Structure formats: C-alpha cells, structure tokens
Amino acid sequence: MHQSTRLIPEDTALSAIQPLGPAGADRAVPALPAALSTETVLAVRHWTERLFSFTLTRDPGFRFQSGQFTLLGLMVDGRPLLRPYSMASAHYDTTLEFLSVKMANGPLTSRLRHIAPGATVLIGRKPTGTLVQDSLLPGRTLYLFATGTGLAPFLSLVKDPDLYTRFDRVVLTHTSRLVNELVHAEHITHELPRHELLGEMVRERLIYYPSVTGEPFRTSGRITGLIESGRMSADLGLPPLDPTTDRAMICGSTALLVDLGALLVRRGFREGSLSRPGEFVIEKAFVAR
C-alpha cells in the first residue's frame, strides 16, 4: 500500500475489532457488503518499526492488472474500515501481497499492524488504478518512480512479462528515508534476475536505482534533485528524461507526486490516463487529504 486516502472516515479502539466468524457464532456476524470478500493472512513480515508486508490467500475469481490497487481492511464495530492498498504480487500469483506503513494513530494501520497468520482481512472485489501500461503511450524506457510504500505497485509491474515486451528498458527508482527502508531490495537485485521465467528479461532490461534521504548511502537525496542535477542520468548511463522516448509512472508521497509531476511537465511530458494515454501517470489514490 501506501497509506492515506480516499479515506472512509472512522475510528475506534483496537479492542473494538469484531472478528469475522462463522454463521451461528454467539455474536451475530454483520452481513458483508457485496463489494467485499474476505481472505486469510498467510504470512506477515515486519521489515522495520515503520514498515511491514503481509500475504493473503487469493480467490481465483479476483483478477487485477499489474499496478492496480484495491480496498483492504478490517471489520470494526460491525462496519468495514477500509483503505486503498496496491497489490505487490504479480497478477498471476496464487496469493496476494501488500506493503504497509505502521501508524500508531492510523485508524486502520494501528490495527492492521497486529495481524498474524490465520486472521481475516477484507478485500474489495473491484481493483482499479492509473498505474497500468495502457495509460501510457508506447516508448522505449519506462521509469518507475517510488517513495516509501509507493514501491508496491511497481513490485507487481516488474514481475509482469508484458512490461518487458513493451519497453526496451525499465528503471525502478525507490527513495526512502533510511537504508533499512529500502524493502525488497534483495528480491529485486538477486531473486528476480534468477526467476525461472522472468530472469533473462529482468537481467537484460530492469535497472534498480535506490536512494536515501536521511542517512549516508551511495546515492543520497530526493529523486527530483538527482534528476535535476543530472546525477541519475550519469549514474545510469542514460540521456536526460525525454518525452519522445521515455515514459514514467509515479507513486509515493504527496511531495513526490507534486514535485516530480511538475518536473516532467516542464520537460514536455503530458499526464495520461486510460481514456487518454500520455507520457507519464500518477497514482493519486494515496495522496493525503
């Protein structure tokens, strides 16, 4: 995921969470809205004090495009408490993976951070989102710009074989505050290149470019600064961003969306959508309001 948006207001104490149980339990189970289904937690990984990921079962009827998100949440006081979360798993995986922040005062994450294998989670039945390939015009190099948990939809995209047939090169940038928040770095740099089906395409076409803003790292600073200074292009051995050949997807903090979007517009890029593809797209579902 990336937390915060399309907010469905609500707030209650952790102890108020009503477990979803079988019909016939002592306490009546509230009817689940038709737009939601339930899945079971299979595994939870706490990366840092601020970040965790979790894997759920997947209904075979739940289908999504790489880069999309869905609503996810828990039952609280007999009502669904939901937030948008991007699928980090591939569209063909038999399970669903999500990435989340831990917010002590977050209406949902303050509860979700305590889930364990066997717990029940709500899932929206209708995935959506702008970070899909059909929102972009054809190009040669695709840049995936992420901060924090904005990495999630791009984890799904870089596992999609179709991505590598549409673009000659895919550059995945991930900026975090601390080095240990560069989650999934090992997976991106070591596991994906050895993937039985994707390995060759990943080795030939995927470039991973991490950066850190809050402590020393080989690449320090905001991605916008690295672009404007020419450092990113120099590090990658690629020409400056060019709307005639390059395409971009952006997901992360509000500052990233605003500043990088403006930077691309100044360079001649046009924002796209499914109805009108362009040179870049932004996922706005996670913008704090």
Q: How does pLDDT run across 90-131, given as a tens digit for each residue?
A: 999 999 999 999 998 999 999 999 999 999 999 999 999 999
Contact 164, 142 (CB under 8 A): no
Q: Which two tokens stand for residue 207?
A: 């470039």
Looking at the domain 133-282, which fold is it?
Rossmann fold (3.40.50)
Q: Which ranges in the chain are annotated with CATH 2.40.30.10?
A: 14-124
Q: Using 50, 70 and 90 to split pLDDT, how confident is the model at 286?
A: confident
**Average model confidence (pLDDT) for the chain?**
90
Q: Which ranges in the chain are annotated with CATH 3.40.50.80?
A: 133-282
- Please state the rounded mean pLDDT for residues 246-271: 97
Distance CA 224, CA 251 (A): 13
- Please state the rounded mean pLDDT for residues 265-269: 98
Q: What is the pLDDT of residues 207-216, one digit of tens each?
A: 999 999 999 9
Instruction: Please state whether beta strands 51-57 and 141-147 pair in parallel, antiparallel, or not at all (unpaired).
Output: unpaired
Residue 23 pLDDT:
40
User: Which one, of 153, 164, 81, lies nearest residue 124 by Cα?
Assistant: 81
Q: Which CATH architecture has domain 14-124?
A: Beta Barrel (2.40)
Residue 137 φ/ψ, nearest 5 degrees: -75, 155
- Please state the rounded mean pLDDT for residues 194-210: 96
Residue 29 pLDDT:
54
Residue 285 pLDDT:
86
* 281 CB burial (10 A radius; 0-12, 13-18, 19+): buried
